[in-house]
Structure 1
Amino acid sequence: MRVANLPEGYEASFDAARLDVERVHTWLSEDSYWARGRARETQEAAIAGSLNLGVYESATGEQVAYARIVTDGATFGWLCDVYVARRVRGLGIGTALVRLVREEGERLGLRRIVLATADAHAVYATAGFAPLEDPSMWMALQLR
């Protein structure tokens, strides 16, 4: 899919078969703060149970970014594992990736997409994400 807000020379796809699973696993397990040490089998299970979005260089097909949405496909989504390769950061790929997630959520008719981030609030704000209006309504069960 070619999207107007994706930089020239890049394309996006929700086709999980196109993902470079080894690359995604390496990015997340070695270079992210939230999934460091994640097992390859765990990553594969996460991919299988999610809606996945990859961004690729058009000329080579090399994957340069990834995000996944854990969703029922009808009402709710959780955006997670958003990663942009270091060598293409600053080109607007992350912003485009998040906007594509929003567009897909709207297409599916989701009512809400949530996420957690320690450092990229401004990127998500460009797509309309905002702090919870009433965080006292939300709860979490920490299992590990």
Structure 2
Amino acid sequence: MKWQQGEFTVTDNREDLDMEMIYGFLCKESYWAKHIPRATVEKSVNHSLCFGLYHCNKQIGFARAISDCATFAYLSDVFVVSDYRGRGLGKWLISCILAHPQLQGLRRWMLATYDAHGLYEQNGFVAVQQPEWFLEIHHPDIYSRKE
């Protein structure tokens, strides 16, 4: 799939992904995947439906959906590089993902965010209505552990 908005493009074409850029952002700039090993990024990309955001063929954003394509999807690793923030591109990227044909008719979408609730709410996400139903195993420092 490919979406166009002026000079900007969103596509799910895995061959267009700039793995060096994605890895660099996640490892060095994200708060959620700081110090993530490159092999882990590559494995996560290989097992997800990925979306690149491009300006004139240069990748400026990324997101991936982890899904069974039938009932559930988890939105992860969503980012737009700092020079392009504040233009509505993140909102557009998320709307493209939500419109993807393989991700229609799902019963539940989920995501986790520390600071972008307003962005996701613009696309219909709300706080978990029954948090007592949800459990997790969470290892927030897994990429910075020395083993």
- CA–CA distance in structure 1, aligned partners of residues 102 and 121 of structure 2: 16
The 1:106–1:43 alpha-carbon spacing in structure 2 relative to 1, beyond 3 Å, is closer
Q: Aligned match of 1:109 in 105, 109, 119? A: 105
Match of 2:134 in 1: 138
Q: Aligned match of 1:49 in 29, 35, 47? A: 47
Structure 1 residue runs of 4 or more that deviate by more than 4 Å after TM superposition: none
1:109 deviation in Å? 2.3
- CA–CA distance in structure 2, aligned partners of residues 40 and 73 of structure 1: 26
Match of 2:3 in 1: 2
TM-score after normalising by structure 2: 0.89
What 5-or-longer segments of structure 2 have no aligned partner? 143-147
Q: Aligned letter for 1:12?
A: V
Contact in 2 for aligned 1:56/1:65 (Cα 8 Å): yes
- CA–CA distance in structure 1, aligned partners of residues 13 and 74 of structure 2: 18
CA-based RMSD? 1.5
- Aligned-partner SS, 2:62: strand
TM-score after normalising by structure 1: 0.91
The 1:125–1:106 alpha-carbon spacing in structure 2 relative to 1, beyond 3 Å, is farther
- Aligned-partner SS, 2:94: helix
- CA–CA distance in structure 2, aligned partners of residues 141 and 108 of structure 1: 28
Match of 1:73 in 2: 69
Contact in 2 for aligned 1:105/1:113 (Cα 8 Å): no
Match of 1:64 in 2: 60
**Identity across matched positions, percent:** 32
